[in-house]
């Protein structure tokens, strides 16, 4: 369990994640966009090219943000400890995710961070954005309502828009001061929720819930329902206890069915 220092600024719980960035210059520009808005935590997921002189040139005075950037191999790894993961997309996709405006996203992100959770804002590749598997890891999508006929912003400019909205939201709360210590049970982490969803899938199979239908659609709906519930760690443990009993009863039933 993590403990939150009371002197830690809330913005330290907000990370900007860039997935599969193709142009190192954009990484530098994103660092600059972040620093102007008081954000410092940049996370890279499998960039096509590591940050280089181009990144440094475009980071300008934000070379500290660039130098401190962490790199992960997958998005799942980069957000494993997050309570809230918001994926920024230039277009709507056929995926069961709520779509938020940047302002709504910023207010949710701040709410999550103020409640003591880690929060990630995720941005995709310049050419192809985030893939569906990556979007599945997100709790909601964020779309900047741009010109529908030309809706794709430059990556760093999209980071700027979201960072600005976060800044406004932070200033409205009295601005970047110390974070209150979280009370009650800690919010469920991304890894805890994914563990729960995995077990839910197994339990539904065990009771033959799908009856020959493809499981994906039901699983997406359950995922959406449980993500909306904003579960804390203890609630996830409680639900997993129920699922363990479901699986145990299904096994007993299968066994006695075999005997009779
Ligand atoms: N051709 C890609 C565009 C990628 S732009 C696509 O169609 O998905 C690179 C990244 O910038 C996107 O993955 C997204 O994270 C962000 N971005 C660009 N325009 C955006 C918009 N209008 N709303 C939200 N995010 C946007």
| pLDDT, tens digit (0-9, with 9 covering 90-100), for 36-76 | 999 999 999 999 999 999 999 999 999 999 999 999 999 99
**d(CA 214, ligand 1 centre) in Å:** 31
Q: What angle do CA 122, 97, 180 make, to 5 degrees?
A: 55
Atom of ligand 1 nearest to the CA of 130: 13
In order of start, what are the domains of the chain with their CATH numbers? 10-172 (3.40.1280.10), 190-259 (1.10.8.590)
CA distance 125 to 160: 16
Atom of ligand 1 nearest to the CA of 124: 13
pTM above 0.85, yes or no: no
> Pairing relation of β-strands 70-72 and 41-45?
parallel
Tell me what pLDDT residue 29 has: 98
Pocket of ligand 1 (CB under 6 A): 88-91, 123-124, 126-130, 142-144, 146, 151-153, 155, 158
Kindly report the backbone phi and psi dihedral angles of residue 73, in degrees, each rounded to the nearest multiple of 5, phi listed first.
Answer: -80, -30
* 2 confidence band (pLDDT: 50, 70, 90): very low
Pocket test for ligand 1, best of 23, 75, 129, 140 (most atoms within 8 A of CB): 129
CA distance 62 to 36: 8
Tell me what pLDDT residue 183 has: 55
């Amino acid at each position: 369990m993590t403990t939150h220092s009371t002197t830690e600024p809330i913005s330290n719980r907000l990370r900007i994640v860039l997935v599969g960035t193709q142009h190192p210059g954009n990484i530098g520009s994103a660092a600059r966009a972040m620093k102007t808005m008081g954000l410092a935590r940049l996370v890279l997921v499998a960039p096509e090219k590591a940050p280089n002189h181009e990144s440094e040139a475009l980071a300008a005075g934000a070379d500290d943000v660039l130098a401190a950037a962490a790199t992960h191999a997958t998005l799942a790894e980069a957000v494993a400890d997050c309570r809230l993961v918001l994926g920024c997309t230039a277009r709507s996709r056929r995926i069961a995710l709520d779509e938020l405006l940047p302002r709504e996203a910023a207010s949710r992100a701040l709410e999550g961070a103020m409640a003591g959770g880690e929060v990630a804002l995720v941005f995709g590749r310049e050419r192809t954005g985030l893939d569906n598997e990556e979007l599945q890891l997100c709790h909601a999508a964020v779309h900047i309502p741009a010109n529908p006929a030309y809706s794709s912003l430059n990556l760093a400019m999209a980071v700027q828009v979201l960072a600005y909205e976060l800044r406004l939201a932070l200033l409205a709360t009295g601005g970047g001061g110390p974070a209150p210590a979280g009370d009650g049970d800690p919010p469920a982490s991304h890894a805890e929720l994914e563990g729960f969803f995995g077990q839910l899938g197994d339990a539904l199979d065990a009771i033959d819930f799908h009856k020959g239908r493809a499981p994906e659609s039901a699983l997406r709906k359950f995922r959406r329902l449980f993500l909306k519930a904003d579960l804390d760690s203890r609630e996830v443990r409680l639900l997993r206890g129920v699922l363990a009993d479901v699986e145990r009863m299904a096994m007993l039933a299968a066994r006695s069915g075999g005997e009779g």
